[in-house]
Amino acid sequence: MTCVIGLTGSIASGKSTVSLMFDDFGIPVIDADKLSREVVKPGQPALAEIVRVFGEKMLLEDGTLDRKRLGKVVFSNEEKRKQLNDIVHPEVRRLMTSRRDAYVKRGEKAVVLDIPLLFESNLQAYVDKIIVVYADHETQLRRLMERDGYTEREAESRIRVQMPVKEKAELADAVINNNGSKHETYEQLQLILQNWGILHGS
Ligand SMILES: CC(C)(COP(=O)(O)OP(=O)(O)OC[C@H]1O[C@@H](n2cnc3c(N)ncnc32)[C@H](O)[C@@H]1O)[C@@H](O)C(=O)NCCC(=O)NCCS
Ligand SMILES: Nc1ncnc2c1ncn2[C@@H]1O[C@H](COP(=O)(O)OP(=O)(O)OP(=O)(O)O)[C@@H](O)[C@H]1O
């Protein structure tokens, strides 16, 4: 039986960092953020729908989506964010479940679905176990500003539209505290996978 692990957290809490660590254990990861980029590539119906709803101004000169511009709109307007979600999320869910099912069919011991909005979108039933990657607000804000070059205001607006990571942690089967070093995070992940019988102790 494949264990389907949902990996979530809040923006810049460290999901991608943890996601890379699964590689070390030979466990495949399906990344919802990556899929959400694939489904809006030029020629895809979701991009045409975004242009219809948000206008041609959302395209860069080369015909690709102007993510920065669209981000400015949707992270400051709840209604518009919902409109975008309604265009992008069904496609992402379709790709995610078909890839998950392929891994299950192959008999992998585990597969990870890295889904930033797992709780917000009510996708708990897609997975067997949930790991929340936690970082306290200050750490999250600092890492987000450093990684993406956002002002404090821009970073806060992105954090604010998600369920607080503390609440997510309460709903998890396991929590990784990512306030410390990446090595400490790695050790926590290893222990969780051992406890779940996915990895064997060394
Ligand atoms: C608005 C867009 C164009 C901004 O692109 P940008 O390259 O700046 O950000 P990126 O896609 O890398 O997302 C970064 C993080 O923002 C958060 N985030 C993204 N979209 C949303 C959303 N609709 N609601 C809440 N948080 C979101 C997630 O934590 C994500 O990990 C893009 O985020 C998007 O298309 N969002 C809608 C699809 C979506 O919900 N993706 C996230 C989960 S699949
Ligand atoms: N334990 C850590 N120590 C130092 N830096 C870290 C640690 N964990 C993550 N970071 C850094 O913090 C930033 C955010 O981490 P990461 O990209 O993994 O978050 P994320 O949850 O995947 O974000 P998003 O929701 O935007 O996809 C990155 O620049 C990453 O290198």
Residue 192 is inside which H or E element, if any?
helix 182-195
Q: Would you call 9 helix, strand, or coil by DSSP?
A: strand
Question: Which residues on neighbouring strands pair with residue 132, listed in sequence order?
Answer: 8, 175
Pocket test for ligand 2, best of 11, 132, 143, 177 (most atoms within 8 A of CB): 143
What is the C-alpha to C-alpha distance for residues 47 and 101, in angstroms, rounded to an integer?
A: 26
Class in CATH terms, 1-28+110-202:
alpha beta
Q: Which candidate, 202, 201, 195, places its Cα nearest to that of 5?
A: 195
CA of 92 to the centre of ligand 2 (A): 22
Ligand 2 surroundings by CB, under 6 angstroms: 9, 11-17, 33, 116, 143, 147, 178, 181-182, 185
Q: pLDDT tens digits for 50-101?
A: 999 999 999 999 999 999 999 999 999 999 999 999 999 999 999 999 999 9
Ligand 1 surroundings by CB, under 6 angstroms: 11, 32-33, 36, 67, 70-71, 74, 81, 84-85, 88, 92, 116-117, 158, 161-162
Q: What is the mean pLDDT of residues 115-128?
A: 97
Task: Provide the residue type at 74 as one letter.
Answer: V
Q: What is the pLDDT of residue 202?
A: 59
Give the ligand 1 atom nearest the CA of 74: 1
Q: Which two tokens stand for residue 6?
A: 């949902």
Give the ligand 1 atom nearest the CA of 40: 35
ipTM, 2 dp? 0.94
Q: Which two tokens stand for residue 41?
A: 């590539």
Helix %, strand %, coil % for the chain, to 5? 55, 15, 30
Domain residue extents for the chain: 1-28+110-202, 39-107
Kindly report the pTM of this predicted structure: 0.95
Q: Which two tokens stand for residue 47?
A: 């991009």
Q: Which candidate, 186, 184, 192, 190, places its Cα nearest to that of 202?
A: 190
Cα–Cα distances in angstroms (integers) from residue 116 to residues 11, 89, 122, 161, 197, in the given order: 7, 12, 11, 12, 25
